[in-house]
Amino acid sequence: MERRYLKCRELSQKRAIEIITMINRIWPPKDVLSEIQHSERYIAKNKNNDLILYLDCGNIIAHAMSFTREIKTDYGLMKILAIKGIAVQPEYRGNNFGKKIVLDAFSNLDTKNLNLSLFQTGVPSFYEKLGARTVKNRFINSLNNEDPQSNPWWDKEVMIYPGSAEFPDGVIDLLGPGY
C-alpha cells in the first residue's frame, strides 16, 4: 500500500480520470460529461488543493482533498480546513482506509496552522467516532447572486473537527459554494 500527498495541479490527466471514475462510481454525477471533461474541470477547479491518495499496485483505492477556506462569522473572518471528496473504492471498504485517509486529511490542520475543519457529511456517525461533532449554525453564501441566503450545503449534517474546538454561534457565511 502506498500513500501520496500532492497538489491537484500535479495530477496527470490519467490519474484525474481515475479519481473521477472512482468518485462517480460512489456518487453518480447529475450531469453526464465524459471522464476527460470531468478530469479537466476537476484539475482546473482544484489546482491548489491538497490531495491524499492511497494506491494498491498503482491503482487509486482512496481519495481525500483538503484546502484552506475563509468563512465569515459574527466575530469576523475565520480560516478553516475544508475537506471533500472522501472516497474509498467499495471493494476496499471495511479495512480502515476511510478512517486513515480522513485522519491524514485532518493532519493538515497542524501543517496549515488552523484550529478546525468544517465539512458536510451524510454519515455523521463515522466522523463522530473520529472526534468530530455536528454544528447547528445557519449557513449562507453571500456570493451566490441568485439566492445568497440559501443553504450552500447539500448534505444533512455539517460538522467540525476536532469536536472540542470552539465554533462561533450565529450565521456562518461560507463566502462561496458548499464543498
pLDDT at 50: 95
Domains of the chain from N-terminus onward: 2-173 (3.40.630.30)
pTM to 2 decimal places: 0.90
Confidence of residue 150 (pLDDT cuts 50, 70, 90): very high
What is the pLDDT, as a whole number, of residue 34? Answer: 64
**36: pLDDT confidence band, cut at 50, 70 and 90?**
low
**pLDDT band (50, 70, 90) for residue 102:** very high
* pLDDT higher than threshold 80 for residue 29: no
Higher pLDDT, 67 or 23: 67
| pLDDT at 42 exceeding the cut of 90 | no
Assign 24 a pLDDT band (cuts: 50, 70, 90): confident
* Contact by Cβ (8 Å): 9, 40: no
